Amino acid sequence: MSNELTGYRGEALSLLKKANASIGKQIRITRNGETYEGILIPRSEYGDEKHILVKLKSGYNIGIKVASNMKVEVTGVGAKPAFTRPPAPAAKEELPKVAVVSTGGTIASKVDYRTGAVEPALTAEDLYAIVPELSDLAKVKAHVLFSELSENLTPKHWSEIAYAVAKQIEEGASGVVVAHGTDTLGYTAAALSFALQNLPVPVVLVGAQRSSDRPSSDAALNLAGAVAVAAESDLAEVVAVMHEKTGDEVVAVHRGTKVRKCHTSNRDAFKSINMQPLAHYNVLEKTFEMTGENYRQRDPSRKMVVKPTFNEKATLIKFHPGSVPELIDWYVEKGYRGIVLEGTGLGHVGRTYNAPIKRAVEKGVVVGMTSQCIWGKVHMTVYYTGRDLLALGVLQLEDMLAETALVKMMWALGQTENPEEAKKIMLTNLAGEFSERRIPQER
């Protein structure tokens, strides 16, 4: 029966078949002089062909890599592990509590094949069905906040998500996972980074590039990684946890203000810009690898500050040859209070932009400069065009992502109506948006 070796393929499957093994049996694996003994457990959909998963007596699951000199023997019957429900409540109570707040998108959806409709799927039971390993990682509580493809989210949704996450933290969650569509996940990650200050525990955005009913889905790996980071990492920041490379074991932990979707369809689409990811987490081995020390550390006693207001009268303008500077006047006339320019190179726009920028600044509009290059930082004193813009009062936003700068502008103008105050906020490092400055531990 194929069910007896659920999830195994290729070399791993051959080895297990040869040994006459099946899920739930006690097996012994000998490889390179080392011996592993435990219960054979099924692979999830994200599994590769090269690992056999065994639950050791310690309760720890390990993935053992297939090798040419590997020997597999069945040594007993074992108890068939129950994966669709959490194990005995007594044991579970000791696990960290993780809240999963679902907002929609591919990761939270399941296609109903009869109707073709996409439905939100994130009850706790659905989660355990997709990723049985979750029950070993945390006591998961699922909460469907809304169900939207993320291109339809607006700053109002960011506020709603901030409130919902804060509520879970106030109720004692050891970490919160936000399941989110990938299209604007980076924008929301930045929004929560500013709205949820002085976090005591991690807030982890997670998405999937391919839905969980597809063999190449990244949903299970990403969810398992996100829950582990929420439950166990030393971080107390807003991060995005997504597939790291083309391999199938490691997720990257990206800072919320520095993460960007850089591929339309690949599973490793999300990249940390102008910095390394904060950490890597190997889902099979259950190991963290921090890449540096410049992060805010978990401290459950820290007092969170929630500032969830965004002012939608801010926008992002991508400059291009032939673009019309009157666009700036149009926004000013519509009552906009903030404009982020996505300029060229080190932070430039055509000289025809100078006059409308001057008019905007004189009316108290905050204007900031970022670069459409994406990597690197703006540096506006190198050429006279940049110096002219600085003289007009344009803020030099260093290596801040254009998208993060837009979100921060909306947030800054949600905190104050005073342009000078808003400018100060824009130039202060609040959540690692300037990557060359130390991240503040407390504010």
Catalytic-labelled residue, pool 55, 110, 258, 261: 261
d(CA 241, CA 207): 8
How many residues bind a copy of itself (CB under 8 A)? The answer is: 59
How many angstroms separate the CA atoms of 37 and 274, rounded? 44
Stretch binding a copy of itself (CB under 8 A), from 22-30, 46-54, 224-232, 312-320: 312-320
Three-class SS state of 1: coil
Closest distance of CB 351 from a copy of itself, Å: 6
In this structure, are residues 209 and 106 in contact, taking their beta carbons and an 8 Å threshold? yes
Question: Would residue 183 show up in a list of annotated catalytic residues for this protein?
Answer: yes
Question: Between 276 and 282, whose beta carbon lies closer to a copy of itself?
Answer: 276
**Contact with a copy of itself (CB under 8 A): which of 7, 96, 350, 440?**
350
Residue 320 binds a copy of itself (CB under 8 A):
yes
Q: Which stretch binds a copy of itself (CB under 8 A): 69-77, 284-292, 294-302, 345-353?
A: 345-353
CB of 325 to a copy of itself, least distance (A): 12
Task: Please tell me whether residue 26 binds a copy of itself under the rule CB under 8 A.
Answer: no
β-strands 270-272, 259-261: how paired?
Answer: antiparallel
Query: If you ran DSSP here, which 8-state letter would residue 418 be given?
Result: -
Q: At closest approach, how far in Å is the CB of 165 from a copy of itself?
A: 17
Cα separation values, 285 from 12, 60, 94, 262, 337, Å? 17, 10, 21, 27, 49
* 73/151 with CB nearer a copy of itself: 151
Please tell me which residue in 106, 184, 257, 404 is annotated as part of the active site: 106
- Residue from 30, 50, 167, 183 carrying the catalytic annotation: 183
Q: Return left, alpha or beta for 292; rule: phi > 0 is left, psi -120 to 50 is alpha, else beta.
A: beta
Phi first, then psi, for residue 441 (nearest 5°) are: -75, -40
Residue 149 lies near a copy of itself (rule: CB under 8 A): yes
Q: 107 or 173: whose CB is closer to a copy of itself?
A: 107
User: Is 17 assigned a catalytic role?
Assistant: no
185-195 and 402-415 helices, crossing angle to 10° = 40
Least Cβ distance, residue 129 to a copy of itself (angstroms)? 23
Binding mask 396-425 for a copy of itself (x = CB under 8 A): -------x--x---x---------------
Position 230 contacts a copy of itself (CB under 8 A) = no
Residues 372 to 391: which contact a copy of itself by CB under 8 A?
Answer: 372-379, 383, 385
Closest distance of CB 423 from a copy of itself, Å: 20
The verdict on 46 binding a copy of itself (CB under 8 A) reads no
Q: Say how far apart CA 3 and CA 440 lie, in whole Å.
A: 51
User: Catalytic residue at 299?
Assistant: no
Identify whether 71 is a catalytic site residue. no
Q: Is 316 near a copy of itself (CB under 8 A)? A: yes
> What is the Cα 333 distance to its own chain's centre?
37
Q: Work out whether 322 is an interface residue with a copy of itself (CB under 8 A).
A: yes
Residues with Cβ < 8 Å from 163, sequence gap 6 or more? Answer: 306, 308
Residue in 153, 160, 144 with CA at minimum distance from that of residue 100: 144
- How many C-beta atoms lie closer than 10 Å to residue 8's C-beta? 24
Q: How far apart, in whole angstroms, are the C-alpha atoms of residue 81 and residue 370?
A: 53
Least distance in Å: CB of 240 to a copy of itself? 15
Nearest to 178 by CA among 134, 222, 129: 222
From 151, 289, 420, 436, residue interacting with a copy of itself (rule: CB under 8 A): 151
Please list, in sequence order, all residues whose beta carbon lies within 8 angstroms of the beta carbon of residue 192, skipping any fewer than 6 positions away: 158, 161, 162, 165, 178, 203, 205, 238, 256
Q: Which residues, 6+ apart, have CB-to-CB distance to 280 below 8 Å?
A: 244, 250, 251, 252, 253, 288, 289, 291
N- to C-terminal Cα distance for the chain?
59
- The residues that are catalytic are 106, 182-183, 261
Contact residues: a copy of itself, CB under 8 A: 149-155, 157-158, 182-184, 187-188, 261-266, 269, 310, 312, 314-316, 318-324, 330, 334, 342-351, 371-379, 383, 385, 403, 406, 410
